[in-house]
Amino acid sequence: MRIRSISLNNVRRFTSPVRLEGLSNGLNVLCKPNEFGKSTLFDALQAVFFKAHSSSDKDIKALRPHAGGAPEVTVEIETDDGRFTIAKRWMSKPSATIEKDGRLIAQADEAESWISQLLGGGDGGPSGLLWVRQGLTALTEGSKKEQKAALEARRDLLSSVTGEVEAMTGGRRMDMALARCREELLNFATPKGRPKAGGPWKAAEELVEALLAEHKNLATTATNLRHDLKERKRKRRELTELEDPEAAASRKERLKDATAELQAAERHAEAVESESRKVDAARLIVTNLKTRLTTLRDSTKERTDAEEAVANASKEATAASLNLESAEATRAKAQLQLKESQIAYKNALDALRASQRRQAALDGAERRKELIERIKNAQTARNNMESAAAEAKRGPDSKSLRQLEDLASDLTTARAIRDGEAAQLIMAYDEGSEGKIKRNGEELPGDRPLAIPNGADLAIEGIGVLTVSAGTGGQDDGSVDKAEKALFAALERHGCTTIEEARNAAEARDAAEHRRMEAKASLDSLAPDGIEDLRAKLAAIPELKEVEEDVPPLADAEQLLAQADDTRLKAETSRTAATDHLSDARSTSSRIDAELKAAQERLSRATASLGRLGDTDETALNDELRRATTALEAAEALHSEKVRSSPDLAAAEAKLKRAQSVEETARAEIVRLKPELATLDERIARSAGDAVEERLAETDQKLEVAQATLARIEQEVAVLLRLETVLEEARSDARERYFEPVAIELKPLLQLLWPDAELSWGDKTLLPTALIRNGQEEPIEILSGGTKEQVALLVRLAFARMLAKHGHNAPVILDDALVFTDDDRIELMFDALHRQADDLQILVLSCRQRAFRNLGGNSVRVTTRSLSSNTA
């Protein structure tokens, strides 16, 4: 919504129509001196939007001019739906109309609800806050004193921002409502919602409980009482019936008759019993006789049979005895034969084993011989190998020989060099004088040069000794001696004296090595696994012994064994057969013996039995039996006659028992009923005294009342709890919906004035508590008036921005908002306002004409009908 024009008529000092025009989008400024009526304008705007045309309260009355009249305010606005004119008139002929393009679209209450819709009411949003003049909360102009107070309040940031915050969160009124709700709730319940001890709720609950318990008690007592009364009535009737004299006499009569009847029946029964005994005696005699007759007949026949059996058994026993003897003889013979055949079999088996050993020995003899030969040869080869190896270690090997040869050649070379350099003697003998000169006792050879490096003593026969001296020309440098010494030392190490000897020794060594190799090859071929292995193989071959020379050949031994085995098996079979036969004979014999003994016993029993019968014979017994039978028949006839005529004893007994039981039951019932009645009388008397029924009815009534009270209290508690919950939820919702967004909107605005500044907000009051600048926290109370009002303005702008974001474009009207702010700061503030004006309509009312002259914004025109025009 954006405001396009405002017209006033009959509003305070504007007794003639006045009109504000040219309100554009963005920042609008109305700069007028004091007493122009800016605040009146402001109040009139508020009245249009928030005061029903029917209202005539003090706010509206305050709008009237001193001269009286009906205040009229008309506002032109523009929304997304087009341009509308809202007109309101109060007091006399009040009206409210909404027109669109000169066409009436709503009036009276319809118009009011249209306005309320326009302001976005209904969703609980803070629609009105932007219309509130800073600091002032009421529309009244009031007295001078009140205006002064309002001015003071206007400077107070807290009161001003508190207005907005309260609008959002319900503020103090919300706190009050919650506190009242909780206070009332605490009368009834604990903070956890349980009935409070000592409170009316708890008391009502306890009362209901107590009454319920009492009611239950009384109800039980009453039920018991009713039951007792019924019982007593019934028992009394029973007792009366039992004690009736006629009934008692009839019971006695019946008892007497039954007793007499029973006695008669008993007497007759005794007579029948006596006859019965007589019949029994007669029957016993007959039975006795019959038994004796049968026994006599049986015993006679038994004796004849037994005699025959004894004779037969004796004959059989003799035959069995003979049979047994022969079977024993057969078995003994068979046993003997078996033993012999077993011995023969064992011998044959031994012979076979000996034959097998001999055969093995014979088979191995050839191989033994060969092995012995191989062992001998191998031994020889080893001996040879060892002696050759010993020889092969003597004398120089080829390398040593080469060294010796080198030394010998060095010596020869040394000698040749020395002799070449030394003085020489050449003796040319005269004919016949050969050998007449001797050197070291030997003849000096002639005609050939002889080197004398060390000079020489020549003994000339017959003349004397000629000494030739070699002089000191160093003819001998000692190298020959050195070579000689080296050669001899080397020769000595190998045990030789000359180089030839050494050469021979080396040759002998080679030959010995050769022999060793040959001997080793021979040994390897003879005994590849060593001689010990051959010896072990030899030991494994059996040797033929002298004593086993005469055993039969293997084939014969095998045949003999087979025969022996056959014989043994046969003997075994016949022995088993004989044994079986013997045991059969034995059992037959003993069975027949037992039979014989049984027959003999039977005979003796039969004889004894006959003896016991004495000498009575059959005919006499038969006569006696016939007489006894006749007597029995007579007794039986008499007995059955008596039985037929006897009365029913059991029936008589039953009748008597019944009569007795009737009498006894009646007596017992009387005895039982009397004390029971006494008990009931006592109990009823006691209960009746307690006035149970009356008390029950009374308790019922009390319970009803108590339950109703409890229900009312519970309803009350539910109402309070619900209210508490809804209030708390609404407050926290409002906080979430408005408070956080406003804080977010505020931040960039604050930074425009004070970079890095931040407001901190009280958690519970939701009011700004401190301004944080450059990390310094300054409580709001100590801020300067200018800073306070700047903060307040910015907070307001933040609200506007937040609303705009929610889709409610509400104009912001600032009435002398910047009283304490210096000019520089005002410029900064106007930067903030311009910044807002992009998406908001802002109307600034100010008296500071000079300060506002160069700050930009659209200047608003004011026209009055009486004066043709008036420019701002």
Partner 1 sequence: MTLEGPGAPPTVEEVETGAFLWINTELPLLPNTDCARALEAVLPDEGRRDILIRVRATGWASLQQQADLRQAAARLGPDFAHFDFDTNMLGTTYDDADLDDIDKAGALRLAANRLKEGTESETLSAEERAVSAGALARLYAYVKEAAE
Backbone phi, psi, residue 338, to 5°:
-60, -45
Interface residue with partner 1 among 719, 744, 782, 867 (CB under 8 A) is 719
Of 302-310, 591-599, 731-739, 845-853, which part binds partner 1 (CB under 8 A)? 731-739
SS3 sequence, 275-311?
A: HHHHHHHHHHHHHHHHHHHHHHHHHHHHHHHHHHHHH
Question: Which of 117, 347 has the CB closer to partner 1?
Answer: 117
CB 717 → partner 1: shortest distance, Å?
Answer: 10
How many residues touch partner 1 under the rule CB under 8 A: the total is 37
Q: Which helix (H) or strand (E) holds 326?
A: helix 245-391
Interface residue with partner 1 among 363, 366, 633, 733 (CB under 8 A) is 733
Of 160-168, 194-202, 669-677, 750-758, which part binds partner 1 (CB under 8 A)? 160-168
Coil/strand/helix, residue 769? strand
Of 15-23, 328-336, 342-350, 725-733, which part binds partner 1 (CB under 8 A)? 725-733
How far apart CA 226 and CA 110 sit, in angstroms, is 73
Interface residue with partner 1 among 265, 349, 486, 723 (CB under 8 A) is 723
Of 316-324, 638-646, 681-689, 728-736, which part binds partner 1 (CB under 8 A)? 728-736
Question: Which of 540, 718 has the CB closer to partner 1?
Answer: 718
When asked if residue 729 is in the footprint of partner 1 (CB under 8 A), the reply is yes
Of 19-27, 394-402, 729-737, 741-749, which part binds partner 1 (CB under 8 A)? 729-737
CB 872 → partner 1: shortest distance, Å?
Answer: 32
CB 171 → partner 1: shortest distance, Å?
Answer: 8
SS3 sequence, 48-91?
A: HHHCCCCCCCHHHHHHCCCCCCCCEEEEEEEECCEEEEEEEECC
CB 54 → partner 1: shortest distance, Å?
Answer: 11
Cβ contacts of 537-540, under 8 Å, gap ≥ 24: 537/371, 538/368, 538/371, 538/372, 538/375
Per-residue contact track with partner 1, 161 to 200, x per CB under 8 A?
-----xxxxxx-xx-xx--xx-------------------
Question: Which of 167, 757 has the CB closer to partner 1?
Answer: 167
Of 427-435, 709-717, 772-780, 824-832, which part binds partner 1 (CB under 8 A)? 709-717
Query: Under rule CB under 8 A, which residues in 38-67 are in contact with partner 1?
Result: 50
Question: Which of 545, 712 has the CB closer to partner 1?
Answer: 712
Question: Which of 123, 623 has the CB closer to partner 1?
Answer: 123
Q: Cβ contacts of residue 204 below 8 Å, gap of 6+?
A: 706, 709, 710, 713
**Bridging pattern class, strands 18-21 and 842-846:** unpaired
CB 716 → partner 1: shortest distance, Å?
Answer: 8
DSSP 663: H
Question: Which of 168, 422 has the CB closer to partner 1?
Answer: 168
Of 504-512, 611-619, 718-726, 857-865, which part binds partner 1 (CB under 8 A)? 718-726
Interface residue with partner 1 among 424, 715, 784, 849 (CB under 8 A) is 715
CB 726 → partner 1: shortest distance, Å?
Answer: 5
Q: What six digits make up the tokens of 525? A: 């071929």
Q: Cβ contacts of residue 59 below 8 Å, gap of 6+?
A: 43, 47, 51, 138, 139, 140
Q: Which of 524, 545, 527 is CA-nearest to residue 537?
A: 527
Question: Which of 121, 530 has the CB closer to partner 1?
Answer: 121
Q: Which of 715, 845, 871, 856 is CA-nearest to residue 30?
A: 845
Interface residue with partner 1 among 7, 85, 127, 846 (CB under 8 A) is 127
When asked if residue 745 is in the footprint of partner 1 (CB under 8 A), the reply is no
When asked if residue 811 is in the footprint of partner 1 (CB under 8 A), the reply is no
Per-residue contact track with partner 1, 128 to 147, x per CB under 8 A?
x-------------------
CB 184 → partner 1: shortest distance, Å?
Answer: 8
In this structure, are residues 680 and 231 in contact, taking their beta carbons and an 8 Å threshold?
yes
CB 181 → partner 1: shortest distance, Å?
Answer: 7
Of 68-76, 311-319, 447-455, 708-716, which part binds partner 1 (CB under 8 A)? 708-716
How far apart CA 847 and CA 824 sit, in angstroms, is 17
In this structure, are residues 237 and 244 in contact, taking their beta carbons and an 8 Å threshold?
no
When asked if residue 785 is in the footprint of partner 1 (CB under 8 A), the reply is no
How far apart CA 22 and CA 4 sit, in angstroms, is 7
Strand partners, 95: 89
Q: Which helix (H) or strand (E) holds 450?
A: strand 449-451
Handedness of CA 427, 429, 434, 437 (dihedral sign): negative
SS3 sequence, 516-577?
A: HHHHHHHHHHHCCCCHHHHHHHHHHCCCCCCHHHHCCCHHHHHHHHHHHHHHHHHHHHHHHH
DSSP 14: B
CB 124 → partner 1: shortest distance, Å?
Answer: 4
In this structure, are residues 320 and 588 in contact, taking their beta carbons and an 8 Å threshold?
yes
Question: Which of 23, 165 has the CB closer to partner 1?
Answer: 165
Of 375-383, 566-574, 719-727, 842-850, which part binds partner 1 (CB under 8 A)? 719-727
Question: Which of 230, 712 has the CB closer to partner 1?
Answer: 712
Whole-angstrom CA distances from 33 to 37, 38, 39, 134 are 9, 9, 12, 18
Question: Which of 94, 128 has the CB closer to partner 1?
Answer: 128
Of 208-216, 467-475, 682-690, 727-735, which part binds partner 1 (CB under 8 A)? 727-735
Interface residue with partner 1 among 47, 157, 734, 844 (CB under 8 A) is 734
Backbone phi, psi, residue 468, to 5°:
-100, 125
When asked if residue 767 is in the footprint of partner 1 (CB under 8 A), the reply is no
When asked if residue 805 is in the footprint of partner 1 (CB under 8 A), the reply is no
Question: Which of 195, 395 has the CB closer to partner 1?
Answer: 195
SS3 sequence, 196-224?
A: CCCCHHHHHHHHHHHHHHHHHHHHHHHHH
Backbone phi, psi, residue 426, to 5°:
-125, 115
CB 174 → partner 1: shortest distance, Å?
Answer: 5
CB 815 → partner 1: shortest distance, Å?
Answer: 21
Per-residue contact track with partner 1, 96 to 125, x per CB under 8 A?
-----------------x--x----xx-xx
How far apart CA 728 and CA 722 sit, in angstroms, is 10
Q: Which of 10, 68, 2 is CA-nearest to residue 40?
A: 10
Question: Which of 62, 730 has the CB closer to partner 1?
Answer: 730
CB 132 → partner 1: shortest distance, Å?
Answer: 12
How far apart, in Å, do the first and last CA atoms of the chain sit? 24
When asked if residue 26 is in the footprint of partner 1 (CB under 8 A), the reply is no
How far apart CA 6 and CA 418 sit, in angstroms, is 159
CB 730 → partner 1: shortest distance, Å?
Answer: 4
In this structure, are residues 453 and 476 in contact, taking their beta carbons and an 8 Å threshold?
yes
CB 714 → partner 1: shortest distance, Å?
Answer: 10
When asked if residue 647 is in the footprint of partner 1 (CB under 8 A), the reply is no
CB 50 → partner 1: shortest distance, Å?
Answer: 8
- Give the residues lining the site for partner 1 (CB under 8 A): 50, 113, 116, 121-122, 124-128, 166-171, 173-174, 176-177, 180-181, 712, 715-716, 718-720, 722-723, 726-727, 729-731, 733-734
